[in-house]
Amino acid sequence: MSGLPSPNWGERRGGARPELIVIHYTAMADAPSARARLCDPAAEVSAHWLIDRQGRSEPLVAEAARAWHAGAGSWGGAGDVNSRSIGIELDNPGDAPFPEPQMAALETLLGAIMARWGIGPEGVIGHSDMAPGRKSDPGPRFDWRRLARQGLALWPEAGPDLPPDPGVFAALAQTFGYPETDFETLLAAVRLRFRPRHAGPLDGRDMAIIADLAARHGADGDQWRGT
């Protein structure tokens, strides 16, 4: 069915169709090395798309097929993310900026995928979101805010700081989509995406951010804003 370079794919299970787009970095030296691994049957990993640093986008697995990019984890209370998602690998070693041509190509590709499959900005997530503690890509240097400005991802419009409460934070994070895990791992995952240069204990800004994000998924975030 795939007809594309990578043999590492299968059928989506249980009649699932893409409702998520998961963004990764390759953590390899260059795009040819990443492509070789993503197309190596022995590696048993793949992605639907690979975007190199010059902005070239290459399809590796048909979008209708199940690529092997997400691994263990969940989002929105459901596992088997591979069956529910399209995976995009960005050629990046993991500690470098994402070049302008690559980001521009990603924006074009995201818009097309979202239109093809009816996926909203809330369905665009990072590998670190669905696998907190296990994965860190696309990492602290990835510009989520840039994608959000074009309606290609979510970014919080946080109101005033709220009283720190770990239990409430965890509940709201899970309402937004994060899997259940220990609190420190969860806090680190949320900050990696939305406050990548912040450290220290849970604070009022963390609470305001997660309340806003959860409110977009039906939670009564206003009760935590004091309104």
Please give the positions annotated as active site: 89
- Nearest CA to 139 among 23, 21, 32? 23
Handedness of CA 108, 109, 111, 115 (dihedral sign): positive
CB atoms inside a 10 Å sphere around CB 21: 23
CA-angle at 157, arms to 143 and 177, nearest 5°:
75
Q: Which residues pair with 125 in a beta bridge?
A: 22
**Token output for 77:** 């209370």
**Token output for 139:** 């990492």
DSSP state of 30: S
Residue 135's contacts (CB-CB under 8 Å, 6 or more residues apart) are: 71, 73, 127, 128
Inter-residue contact 201 to 183 (CB < 8 Å): no
Amino acid identity, position 3: G
Inter-residue contact 91 to 52 (CB < 8 Å): yes
- Nearest CA to 5 among 53, 67, 56, 75? 67
